[in-house]
């Protein structure tokens, strides 16, 4: 994002193109019966650890897969592949977010109708990914208790754009100065409808609620459309 | 940042303009004898706490001031102003980084020659700020032990661009899985010359070394140019 007027104009066209493409993706995911969740957070919030646990545990009852965005390295894809789920890496170079075109490209040749859940892990960045629709059904932000209670107010675009807010690393609460109630109040100031789930991806607290939420969402989905 | 060709072209011109403006700023800082440090990190790494301590403690012996960039709110500026140092806030809206033009605008009317140190706290983002020169003398990245050892490899542009790497929150080392040696080795893989200082901004470990580094830098500066 930038303040430069010429760039703002060009970017507006890019966003419009992205929105159209994302709408097409969303439609094809719906028709194929794939529930798509995108995960965004600042670097080091525990996205990959959470996704690793999610793929392993949800993979016992559902068909799951993941796309993983990073500037460089395929470390995360290698970590996630240990869950046994199909994983594809998107290396973005200097690009600070995923976009719908990258998602479409990465899905090329994947039989979408054989999946229940597709998770898309974005580049670690609380700013730019807020603006790019990836065709997901739910956008999930992960924040951690080590980051401070003020983050929803300081990064309002992202917290406003999300459907679910996972508050991670609650196992560290005894060791940091963090007021969970104040964090939740700050989050609700920018996004009154957001669902907040506290958890510890490493220790396992809150994972049953998170997985229960996902399973429930699938049950509530309209039936798959035969094409 | 984006992969869109038209946007890449426009952005190249924006970067060129930024580089020219930053070179001008760097020259005027040098002539005024102001040592400028920019601070970048992911959200929640402890930039503001570190800066608060730095302004308070360095302010006893030197003339210090700060510019603070945020998408929204002036919470950080209010926190930093408690140190007694002059502080100005730059609210960037949806813009994910500071640029040289914003810095120039924020400095308007400030008597630079009355300062020894100016600190510029960037928007919390490990991606985009790597590419924007602000005319600083040193670029400092703050990472924290809660973020994992792999961050230098996953966000190589930022770790490559920095002069000093502060490893914050070492007070949490007993409670997280983090290998300091591995983190340092990863940092040196992308930036062999980087100086790494471990510290805890909240508890105070490493602050004397950080402040000693800054004071030493000022001593090593060429003498102020009279204009």
Q: Find, in chain A, the residue whose alpha carbon is nearest to that of B99.
A: A2
Pairs across A and B, CB distance < 8 A: 159
Angle separating helix axes B207-220 and B47-58, nearest 10 degrees: 60
| Token reading at A147 | 């980051």
Neighboring chain A residues of B71 at a CB cutoff of 8 Å: 127, 154-157
Q: Is A8 on the interface with B (CB under 8 A)?
A: no
Please tell me the predicted confidence (pLDDT) of residue A99.
96
Question: Between B42, B72, B128, which is nearest A154 by CB?
Answer: B72
Strand B164-168 with B87-91, pairing? unpaired
Nearest to B139 by CA among B47, B14, B205: B47
Please tell me the predicted confidence (pLDDT) of residue A7.
73
Strand order in the sheet with A35-41: A87-91, A64-70, A117-121, A35-41, A138-144, A164-168, A195-198
Optimal mutation site among B80, B101, B127, B175, interface A, most CBs of chain A within 10 A: B127
Neighboring chain A residues of B155 at a CB cutoff of 8 Å: 43, 71-72, 124
| Token reading at A170 | 């609650």
Instruction: Return d(Cα B66, Cα B68) in angstroms, integer.
Output: 6
Nearest to B69 by CA among A3, A146, A70, A4: A3
- B1 to A46, B4, B38, B116: CA distances (angstroms): 24, 9, 20, 34
**Does the beta-carbon distance from B11 to A7 stay under 8 Å?**
yes
Please tell me the predicted confidence (pLDDT) of residue A12.
86
pLDDT at A148 over 70: yes
ipTM summary value = 0.89
Neighboring chain B residues of A146 at a CB cutoff of 8 Å: 44, 144, 146, 169, 172
Residue found under tokens 């917290």:
A159
Please tell me the predicted confidence (pLDDT) of residue A227.
47
A192 SS3 class: coil
Please tell me the predicted confidence (pLDDT) of residue B227.
46
| Token reading at B96 | 């994910």
This prediction has a pTM of 0.92
Across the range A61-89, mean pLDDT stands at 95
A45 SS3 class: coil
Per-residue pLDDT of chain B (227 residues; tens, 9 = 90+): 555 677 778 888 889 999 999 999 999 999 999 999 999 999 999 999 999 999 999 999 999 999 999 999 999 999 999 999 999 999 999 899 999 999 999 999 887 778 999 999 999 999 999 999 999 999 999 999 999 999 999 999 999 999 999 999 999 999 999 999 999 999 999 999 999 999 999 999 999 999 999 999 988 776 655 54
Give the rounded distance of the alpha carbon of B8 from its chain centre. 26
Question: Between A10, A94, A177, which is nearest B10 by CB?
Answer: A10
Backbone angles phi, psi at B191, to 5 degrees: -150, 90
pLDDT at A92 over 50: yes
Q: Is A153 on the interface with B (CB under 8 A)?
A: yes
Residue found under tokens 């190589």:
B156
Neighboring chain B residues of A175 at a CB cutoff of 8 Å: 171-172, 175
């Amino acid at each position: 994002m930038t303040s430069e007027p010429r760039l703002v104009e060009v970017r507006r066209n890019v966003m419009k193109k992205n929105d159209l493409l994302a709408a097409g993706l969303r439609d094809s995911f719906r028709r194929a019966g794939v529930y798509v969740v995108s995960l965004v957070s600042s670097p080091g919030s525990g996205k990959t650890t959470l996704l690793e646990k999610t793929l392993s545990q949800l993979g016992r009852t559902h068909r799951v897969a993941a796309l993983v965005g990073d500037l460089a390295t395929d470390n995360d894809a290698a970590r996630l592949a240990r869950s046994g789920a199909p994983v594809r890496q998107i290396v973005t170079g200097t690009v600070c977010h995923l976009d719908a075109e990258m998602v479409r490209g990465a899905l090329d040749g994947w039989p979408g109708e054989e999946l229940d859940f597709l998770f898309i892990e974005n580049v670690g960045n609380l700013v730019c990914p807020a603006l790019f629709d990836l065709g997901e059904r739910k956008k999930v932000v992960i924040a951690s208790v080590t980051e401070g209670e003020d983050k929803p107010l300081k990064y309002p675009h992202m917290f406003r754009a999300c459907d679910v807010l996972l508050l991670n690393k609650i196992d560290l609460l005894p060791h940091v100065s963090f007021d969970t109630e104040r964090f939740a109040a700050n989050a609700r100031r920018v996004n009154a409808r957001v669902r907040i789930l506290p958890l510890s991806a490493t220790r396992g607290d809150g994972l049953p609620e998170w997985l229960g939420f996902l399973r429930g969402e699938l049950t509530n989905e309209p039936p798959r459309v035969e094409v």
